[in-house]
Structure 1
Protein backbone atom coordinates (compact mmCIF):
# COMPACT_ATOMS: atom_id res chain seq x y z
CA UNK A 1 0.00 0.00 0.00
CA UNK A 2 2.83 2.40 0.85
CA UNK A 3 4.55 1.66 -2.47
CA UNK A 4 1.33 2.39 -4.32
CA UNK A 5 0.98 5.66 -2.42
CA UNK A 6 4.55 6.67 -3.27
CA UNK A 7 3.98 5.83 -6.96
CA UNK A 8 0.85 7.98 -7.04
CA UNK A 9 2.70 10.77 -5.27
CA UNK A 10 5.60 10.63 -7.73
CA UNK A 11 3.14 10.63 -10.63
CA UNK A 12 1.48 13.74 -9.21
CA UNK A 13 4.91 15.32 -8.76
CA UNK A 14 5.82 14.59 -12.38
CA UNK A 15 2.58 16.17 -13.57
CA UNK A 16 3.33 19.20 -11.44
CA UNK A 17 6.80 19.50 -12.98
CA UNK A 18 5.29 19.40 -16.45
CA UNK A 19 2.92 22.18 -15.48
CA UNK A 20 5.80 24.28 -14.14
CA UNK A 21 7.72 23.72 -17.38
CA UNK A 22 4.70 24.90 -19.38
CA UNK A 23 4.34 27.93 -17.11
CA UNK A 24 7.96 28.91 -17.62
CA UNK A 25 7.79 28.37 -21.37
CA UNK A 26 4.54 30.25 -21.88
CA UNK A 27 5.42 33.07 -19.48
CA UNK A 28 9.02 34.07 -18.68
CA UNK A 29 10.58 32.44 -21.76
CA UNK A 30 8.24 34.28 -24.12
CA UNK A 31 8.81 37.53 -22.27
CA UNK A 32 12.58 37.12 -22.45
CA UNK A 33 12.38 36.36 -26.17
CA UNK A 34 10.28 39.48 -26.68
CA UNK A 35 12.71 41.56 -24.66
CA UNK A 36 15.65 40.31 -26.74
CA UNK A 37 13.78 41.23 -29.91
CA UNK A 38 13.12 44.78 -28.67
CA UNK A 39 16.70 45.30 -27.47
CA UNK A 40 18.09 44.00 -30.77
CA UNK A 41 15.81 46.40 -32.63
CA UNK A 42 16.95 49.22 -30.34
CA UNK A 43 20.58 48.55 -31.24
CA UNK A 44 19.74 48.61 -34.94
CA UNK A 45 17.84 51.88 -34.57
CA UNK A 46 20.76 53.47 -32.72
CA UNK A 47 23.10 52.48 -35.52
CA UNK A 48 20.79 54.36 -37.87
CA UNK A 49 20.75 57.36 -35.52
CA UNK A 50 17.03 56.94 -34.84
CA UNK A 51 17.49 57.58 -31.14
CA UNK A 52 13.86 58.22 -30.22
CA UNK A 53 12.72 54.95 -31.76
CA UNK A 54 15.65 53.14 -30.13
CA UNK A 55 14.70 54.51 -26.72
CA UNK A 56 11.14 53.32 -27.23
CA UNK A 57 12.38 49.79 -27.97
CA UNK A 58 14.62 49.87 -24.90
CA UNK A 59 11.68 50.90 -22.71
CA UNK A 60 9.48 48.12 -24.08
CA UNK A 61 12.26 45.56 -23.69
CA UNK A 62 12.85 46.66 -20.11
CA UNK A 63 9.14 46.29 -19.35
CA UNK A 64 9.23 42.73 -20.67
CA UNK A 65 12.28 41.96 -18.52
CA UNK A 66 10.60 43.27 -15.38
CA UNK A 67 7.48 41.23 -16.09
CA UNK A 68 9.59 38.11 -16.69
CA UNK A 69 11.29 38.66 -13.32
CA UNK A 70 7.92 38.88 -11.57
CA UNK A 71 6.76 35.68 -13.28
CA UNK A 72 9.93 33.80 -12.38
CA UNK A 73 9.61 34.85 -8.74
CA UNK A 74 6.01 33.63 -8.74
CA UNK A 75 7.04 30.23 -10.10
CA UNK A 76 9.88 29.99 -7.56
CA UNK A 77 7.52 30.85 -4.72
CA UNK A 78 5.22 28.06 -5.88
CA UNK A 79 8.09 25.55 -5.73
CA UNK A 80 9.40 26.53 -2.29
CA UNK A 81 8.21 29.79 -0.78
CA UNK A 82 11.10 31.71 0.76
CA UNK A 83 8.83 33.00 3.51
CA UNK A 84 8.45 29.42 4.78
CA UNK A 85 12.15 29.35 5.59
CA UNK A 86 12.50 33.01 6.55
CA UNK A 87 9.46 33.63 8.75
CA UNK A 88 8.03 30.22 9.59
CA UNK A 89 4.93 28.22 8.81
CA UNK A 90 2.23 30.54 10.17
CA UNK A 91 3.51 33.65 8.39
CA UNK A 92 3.98 31.70 5.17
CA UNK A 93 0.41 30.42 5.32
CA UNK A 94 -0.92 33.91 6.04
CA UNK A 95 1.04 35.41 3.15
CA UNK A 96 -0.08 32.77 0.66
CA UNK A 97 -3.67 32.91 1.87
CA UNK A 98 -3.92 36.67 1.55
CA UNK A 99 -2.49 36.51 -1.97
CA UNK A 100 -4.94 33.78 -2.97
CA UNK A 101 -8.01 35.56 -1.57
CA UNK A 102 -7.23 39.17 -2.54
CA UNK A 103 -8.60 38.90 -6.11
CA UNK A 104 -11.94 37.73 -4.71
CA UNK A 105 -12.31 40.30 -1.93
CA UNK A 106 -12.38 37.65 0.80
CA UNK A 107 -10.95 38.25 4.26
CA UNK A 108 -8.57 35.90 6.08
CA UNK A 109 -7.89 35.24 9.74
CA UNK A 110 -4.96 33.05 10.79
CA UNK A 111 -4.80 31.89 14.40
CA UNK A 112 -1.97 30.08 16.16
CA UNK A 113 -2.74 28.21 19.39
CA UNK A 114 -0.08 26.85 21.69
CA UNK A 115 3.68 26.79 21.16
CA UNK A 116 4.91 26.09 17.60
CA UNK A 117 7.57 23.50 16.90
CA UNK A 118 8.14 19.79 16.55
CA UNK A 119 7.60 19.60 12.77
CA UNK A 120 10.10 18.47 10.18
CA UNK A 121 10.50 20.38 6.91
CA UNK A 122 8.51 17.86 4.86
CA UNK A 123 5.53 18.12 7.21
CA UNK A 124 5.69 21.92 7.17
CA UNK A 125 5.61 21.89 3.37
CA UNK A 126 2.60 19.57 3.34
CA UNK A 127 0.72 21.81 5.79
CA UNK A 128 1.59 24.87 3.73
CA UNK A 129 0.25 23.22 0.56
CA UNK A 130 -2.98 22.18 2.29
CA UNK A 131 -3.58 25.74 3.49
CA UNK A 132 -2.63 27.17 0.09
CA UNK A 133 -4.96 24.80 -1.77
CA UNK A 134 -7.76 25.39 0.72
CA UNK A 135 -7.62 29.17 0.40
CA UNK A 136 -7.21 29.01 -3.38
CA UNK A 137 -10.27 26.78 -3.72
CA UNK A 138 -12.25 29.01 -1.37
CA UNK A 139 -11.41 32.06 -3.42
CA UNK A 140 -12.25 30.45 -6.74
CA UNK A 141 -15.29 28.39 -5.86
CA UNK A 142 -16.88 29.18 -2.49
CA UNK A 143 -18.35 32.63 -3.24
CA UNK A 144 -17.96 33.33 0.46
CA UNK A 145 -16.68 36.33 2.39
CA UNK A 146 -14.24 34.87 4.92
CA UNK A 147 -11.66 32.12 5.42
CA UNK A 148 -10.32 31.08 8.80
CA UNK A 149 -7.13 29.09 9.37
CA UNK A 150 -6.10 27.66 12.73
CA UNK A 151 -2.83 25.97 13.64
CA UNK A 152 -3.37 24.24 16.98
CA UNK A 153 -0.15 23.17 18.75
CA UNK A 154 -1.72 22.56 22.15
CA UNK A 155 -1.41 18.78 21.83
CA UNK A 156 2.30 18.00 22.40
CA UNK A 157 2.11 15.00 20.08
CA UNK A 158 0.07 16.33 17.17
CA UNK A 159 -0.64 19.54 15.28
CA UNK A 160 -4.11 20.24 13.95
CA UNK A 161 -4.57 22.51 10.92
CA UNK A 162 -8.10 23.69 10.14
CA UNK A 163 -9.04 25.67 7.02
CA UNK A 164 -12.68 26.75 6.81
CA UNK A 165 -14.77 29.10 4.70
CA UNK A 166 -18.31 30.45 4.88
CA UNK A 167 -19.10 29.82 1.24
CA UNK A 168 -21.57 27.75 -0.72
CA UNK A 169 -19.99 24.38 0.01
CA UNK A 170 -20.18 21.31 -2.23
CA UNK A 171 -20.74 17.56 -2.22
CA UNK A 172 -17.73 16.33 -0.26
CA UNK A 173 -18.37 12.73 -1.34
CA UNK A 174 -16.91 13.54 -4.76
CA UNK A 175 -14.15 15.85 -3.53
CA UNK A 176 -11.34 13.30 -3.66
CA UNK A 177 -12.02 12.50 -7.30
CA UNK A 178 -10.76 15.91 -8.45
CA UNK A 179 -7.16 16.87 -9.21
CA UNK A 180 -6.85 19.71 -11.68
CA UNK A 181 -3.73 20.35 -13.71
CA UNK A 182 -2.31 23.32 -11.87
CA UNK A 183 -2.81 22.06 -8.34
CA UNK A 184 -2.48 18.60 -6.86
CA UNK A 185 -6.15 18.59 -5.93
CA UNK A 186 -7.63 17.23 -2.76
CA UNK A 187 -6.63 13.66 -3.52
CA UNK A 188 -2.98 14.61 -3.94
CA UNK A 189 -3.06 16.57 -0.68
CA UNK A 190 -4.54 13.62 1.19
CA UNK A 191 -1.78 11.37 -0.15
CA UNK A 192 0.89 13.80 1.00
CA UNK A 193 -0.66 14.05 4.45
CA UNK A 194 -0.77 10.24 4.62
CA UNK A 195 2.91 10.08 3.71
CA UNK A 196 3.94 12.18 6.74
CA UNK A 197 1.80 10.06 9.04
CA UNK A 198 -1.16 12.42 9.25
CA UNK A 199 -4.90 12.31 8.66
CA UNK A 200 -6.89 14.43 6.23
CA UNK A 201 -10.60 15.15 6.46
CA UNK A 202 -13.02 17.42 4.65
CA UNK A 203 -16.56 18.39 5.59
CA UNK A 204 -18.76 20.31 3.20
CA UNK A 205 -22.33 20.51 2.07
CA UNK A 206 -24.27 22.96 -0.10
CA UNK A 207 -24.81 26.32 1.63
CA UNK A 208 -22.80 25.30 4.71
CA UNK A 209 -19.24 26.10 3.71
CA UNK A 210 -16.21 23.84 3.72
CA UNK A 211 -13.84 22.75 6.47
CA UNK A 212 -10.56 20.92 5.89
CA UNK A 213 -8.97 19.34 8.97
CA UNK A 214 -5.46 17.88 9.04
CA UNK A 215 -3.74 16.23 11.99
CA UNK A 216 -0.02 15.49 11.77
CA UNK A 217 2.42 14.06 14.33
CA UNK A 218 5.01 16.25 16.01
CA UNK A 219 8.60 15.26 16.83
CA UNK A 220 8.70 12.71 14.00
CA UNK A 221 11.76 10.43 14.02
CA UNK A 222 13.45 10.92 10.66
CA UNK A 223 12.36 13.14 7.84
CA UNK A 224 10.34 12.11 4.82
CA UNK A 225 11.71 13.58 1.63
CA UNK A 226 9.01 15.03 -0.61
CA UNK A 227 9.55 16.34 -4.11
CA UNK A 228 8.97 20.11 -4.43
CA UNK A 229 5.55 20.94 -5.90
Structure 2
Protein backbone atom coordinates (compact mmCIF):
# COMPACT_ATOMS: atom_id res chain seq x y z
CA UNK A 1 0.00 0.00 0.00
CA UNK A 2 2.77 2.43 0.90
CA UNK A 3 4.44 1.71 -2.43
CA UNK A 4 1.21 2.45 -4.31
CA UNK A 5 0.81 5.73 -2.44
CA UNK A 6 4.39 6.68 -3.30
CA UNK A 7 3.82 5.84 -6.95
CA UNK A 8 0.59 7.85 -6.97
CA UNK A 9 2.41 10.85 -5.51
CA UNK A 10 5.14 10.52 -8.15
CA UNK A 11 2.51 10.45 -10.91
CA UNK A 12 0.73 13.53 -9.57
CA UNK A 13 4.03 15.40 -9.42
CA UNK A 14 4.83 14.36 -12.99
CA UNK A 15 7.91 12.44 -11.88
CA UNK A 16 6.82 8.90 -12.74
CA UNK A 17 9.61 7.02 -14.50
CA UNK A 18 7.42 4.00 -15.32
CA UNK A 19 4.14 3.51 -17.11
CA UNK A 20 1.60 3.66 -14.27
CA UNK A 21 -0.89 1.17 -15.69
CA UNK A 22 -1.29 -0.58 -12.34
CA UNK A 23 -2.49 2.61 -10.68
CA UNK A 24 -4.84 3.35 -13.56
CA UNK A 25 -6.48 -0.08 -13.35
CA UNK A 26 -6.64 -0.38 -9.56
CA UNK A 27 -7.93 3.15 -8.94
CA UNK A 28 -10.31 2.82 -11.87
CA UNK A 29 -11.73 -0.38 -10.39
CA UNK A 30 -12.24 1.31 -7.03
CA UNK A 31 -14.03 4.38 -8.35
CA UNK A 32 -16.01 2.34 -10.85
CA UNK A 33 -17.36 0.14 -8.05
CA UNK A 34 -18.36 3.24 -6.06
CA UNK A 35 -19.93 4.82 -9.13
CA UNK A 36 -21.95 1.68 -9.90
CA UNK A 37 -23.20 1.35 -6.31
CA UNK A 38 -26.14 3.70 -6.96
CA UNK A 39 -29.28 1.63 -6.46
CA UNK A 40 -27.42 -1.14 -4.62
CA UNK A 41 -27.30 -3.60 -7.55
CA UNK A 42 -24.28 -5.88 -7.19
CA UNK A 43 -23.82 -6.66 -10.89
CA UNK A 44 -23.91 -2.95 -11.75
CA UNK A 45 -21.10 -2.46 -9.22
CA UNK A 46 -19.06 -5.17 -10.96
CA UNK A 47 -19.80 -3.86 -14.47
CA UNK A 48 -18.96 -0.27 -13.59
CA UNK A 49 -15.77 -1.32 -11.82
CA UNK A 50 -14.62 -2.94 -15.07
CA UNK A 51 -15.88 -0.14 -17.30
CA UNK A 52 -14.02 2.83 -15.79
CA UNK A 53 -10.48 1.50 -16.47
CA UNK A 54 -11.77 -0.01 -19.73
CA UNK A 55 -13.04 3.42 -20.83
CA UNK A 56 -9.67 5.08 -20.21
CA UNK A 57 -7.55 2.28 -21.68
CA UNK A 58 -9.73 1.82 -24.78
CA UNK A 59 -9.78 5.58 -25.44
CA UNK A 60 -6.01 5.70 -25.04
CA UNK A 61 -5.38 2.74 -27.36
CA UNK A 62 -7.70 4.09 -30.05
CA UNK A 63 -6.21 7.60 -29.91
CA UNK A 64 -2.54 6.66 -29.63
CA UNK A 65 -1.83 5.43 -33.20
CA UNK A 66 -2.85 8.77 -34.76
CA UNK A 67 -0.83 10.64 -32.15
CA UNK A 68 2.27 8.52 -32.83
CA UNK A 69 1.95 9.08 -36.57
CA UNK A 70 1.76 12.85 -36.02
CA UNK A 71 4.88 12.70 -33.84
CA UNK A 72 6.73 10.88 -36.61
CA UNK A 73 5.54 13.25 -39.34
CA UNK A 74 6.73 16.25 -37.32
CA UNK A 75 10.16 14.69 -36.80
CA UNK A 76 9.65 14.07 -33.07
CA UNK A 77 9.92 10.29 -33.11
CA UNK A 78 12.86 10.38 -30.70
CA UNK A 79 10.61 11.89 -28.02
CA UNK A 80 7.78 9.36 -28.37
CA UNK A 81 8.71 7.29 -25.30
CA UNK A 82 8.77 10.35 -23.05
CA UNK A 83 5.56 11.71 -24.55
CA UNK A 84 3.70 8.41 -24.05
CA UNK A 85 5.00 8.24 -20.49
CA UNK A 86 3.55 11.71 -19.86
CA UNK A 87 0.22 10.66 -21.35
CA UNK A 88 0.16 7.47 -19.27
CA UNK A 89 0.78 9.54 -16.15
CA UNK A 90 -2.13 11.82 -17.00
CA UNK A 91 -4.41 8.81 -17.48
CA UNK A 92 -3.43 7.42 -14.09
CA UNK A 93 -4.05 10.87 -12.61
CA UNK A 94 -7.69 10.70 -13.70
CA UNK A 95 -8.31 7.55 -11.65
CA UNK A 96 -6.17 8.69 -8.69
CA UNK A 97 -8.20 11.88 -8.38
CA UNK A 98 -11.44 9.94 -8.84
CA UNK A 99 -10.51 7.70 -5.91
CA UNK A 100 -9.79 10.80 -3.82
CA UNK A 101 -13.27 12.07 -4.74
CA UNK A 102 -14.98 8.71 -4.11
CA UNK A 103 -16.05 9.60 -0.52
CA UNK A 104 -17.95 12.59 -1.93
CA UNK A 105 -19.74 10.27 -4.37
CA UNK A 106 -20.69 7.94 -1.50
CA UNK A 107 -21.99 10.94 0.46
CA UNK A 108 -24.00 12.13 -2.55
CA UNK A 109 -25.59 8.69 -3.03
CA UNK A 110 -26.46 8.57 0.67
CA UNK A 111 -28.17 11.96 0.54
CA UNK A 112 -29.95 11.74 -2.83
CA UNK A 113 -31.84 8.99 -4.65
CA UNK A 114 -32.24 11.02 -7.84
CA UNK A 115 -30.87 9.04 -10.80
CA UNK A 116 -30.19 12.02 -13.06
CA UNK A 117 -28.56 13.95 -10.23
CA UNK A 118 -26.25 10.95 -9.70
CA UNK A 119 -25.27 11.03 -13.37
CA UNK A 120 -24.57 14.77 -13.27
CA UNK A 121 -22.60 14.45 -10.04
CA UNK A 122 -20.37 11.73 -11.49
CA UNK A 123 -19.92 13.80 -14.65
CA UNK A 124 -18.70 16.63 -12.43
CA UNK A 125 -16.26 14.26 -10.67
CA UNK A 126 -14.86 13.16 -14.03
CA UNK A 127 -14.55 16.79 -15.11
CA UNK A 128 -12.51 17.62 -11.99
CA UNK A 129 -10.33 14.54 -12.48
CA UNK A 130 -9.81 15.38 -16.16
CA UNK A 131 -8.77 18.93 -15.29
CA UNK A 132 -6.22 17.58 -12.81
CA UNK A 133 -4.94 15.19 -15.49
CA UNK A 134 -4.43 18.09 -17.93
CA UNK A 135 -2.41 19.95 -15.31
CA UNK A 136 -0.18 16.91 -14.75
CA UNK A 137 0.15 16.35 -18.50
CA UNK A 138 1.12 19.99 -19.11
CA UNK A 139 3.74 19.77 -16.34
CA UNK A 140 5.21 16.55 -17.79
CA UNK A 141 5.27 18.10 -21.28
CA UNK A 142 7.33 21.14 -20.29
CA UNK A 143 10.73 19.53 -21.04
CA UNK A 144 9.43 18.33 -24.41
CA UNK A 145 8.11 21.78 -25.34
CA UNK A 146 11.41 23.32 -24.22
CA UNK A 147 13.20 21.04 -26.70
CA UNK A 148 10.78 21.71 -29.53
CA UNK A 149 7.77 24.09 -29.69
CA UNK A 150 6.12 21.59 -32.02
CA UNK A 151 5.26 19.54 -28.93
CA UNK A 152 2.90 22.31 -27.81
CA UNK A 153 0.86 21.83 -30.97
CA UNK A 154 0.91 18.06 -30.48
CA UNK A 155 -0.24 18.40 -26.88
CA UNK A 156 -3.26 20.44 -27.93
CA UNK A 157 -3.99 18.00 -30.74
CA UNK A 158 -3.83 15.08 -28.30
CA UNK A 159 -6.32 16.71 -25.93
CA UNK A 160 -8.84 17.29 -28.74
CA UNK A 161 -8.32 13.80 -30.19
CA UNK A 162 -8.63 12.10 -26.83
CA UNK A 163 -11.80 14.02 -25.94
CA UNK A 164 -13.35 13.18 -29.32
CA UNK A 165 -12.69 9.44 -28.92
CA UNK A 166 -13.50 9.46 -25.20
CA UNK A 167 -17.00 10.86 -25.71
CA UNK A 168 -17.79 8.09 -28.19
CA UNK A 169 -16.34 5.40 -25.89
CA UNK A 170 -18.33 6.74 -22.94
CA UNK A 171 -21.48 6.54 -25.04
CA UNK A 172 -20.73 2.99 -26.22
CA UNK A 173 -19.90 1.68 -22.73
CA UNK A 174 -22.91 3.16 -20.96
CA UNK A 175 -24.58 2.64 -18.52
CA UNK A 176 -22.06 3.34 -15.78
CA UNK A 177 -24.91 3.94 -13.34
CA UNK A 178 -27.87 1.58 -13.30
CA UNK A 179 -31.26 3.07 -14.09
CA UNK A 180 -33.90 2.37 -11.40
CA UNK A 181 -36.38 -0.27 -12.57
CA UNK A 182 -34.28 -1.23 -15.60
CA UNK A 183 -32.48 -4.58 -15.91
CA UNK A 184 -28.75 -4.55 -15.22
CA UNK A 185 -26.87 -4.54 -18.52
CA UNK A 186 -23.22 -4.36 -19.46
CA UNK A 187 -24.14 -2.56 -22.69
CA UNK A 188 -27.30 -0.57 -23.24
CA UNK A 189 -29.21 -0.85 -26.52
CA UNK A 190 -27.76 1.47 -29.14
CA UNK A 191 -24.18 1.01 -27.91
CA UNK A 192 -22.96 0.87 -31.50
CA UNK A 193 -24.50 4.20 -32.46
CA UNK A 194 -22.39 7.25 -33.14
CA UNK A 195 -22.69 9.62 -30.16
CA UNK A 196 -22.25 12.69 -32.34
CA UNK A 197 -24.95 11.60 -34.79
CA UNK A 198 -27.34 10.97 -31.89
CA UNK A 199 -26.64 14.42 -30.41
CA UNK A 200 -27.03 16.07 -33.83
CA UNK A 201 -30.34 14.27 -34.26
CA UNK A 202 -31.52 15.53 -30.87
CA UNK A 203 -30.56 19.11 -31.78
CA UNK A 204 -32.45 18.86 -35.09
CA UNK A 205 -35.52 17.43 -33.34
CA UNK A 206 -35.52 20.24 -30.78
CA UNK A 207 -34.98 22.87 -33.48
CA UNK A 208 -37.84 21.45 -35.58
CA UNK A 209 -40.40 21.71 -32.76
> Is the structural similarity TM-score above 0.5?
no
Greater share of helix residues, 1 or 2? 2
Give TM-score scaled by structure 1 length: 0.28
Q: Which structure: larger Rg?
A: 1
Greater share of strand residues, 1 or 2? 1
If asked which structure has higher relative contact order (CA below 8 Å, sep 6+), I would say: 2
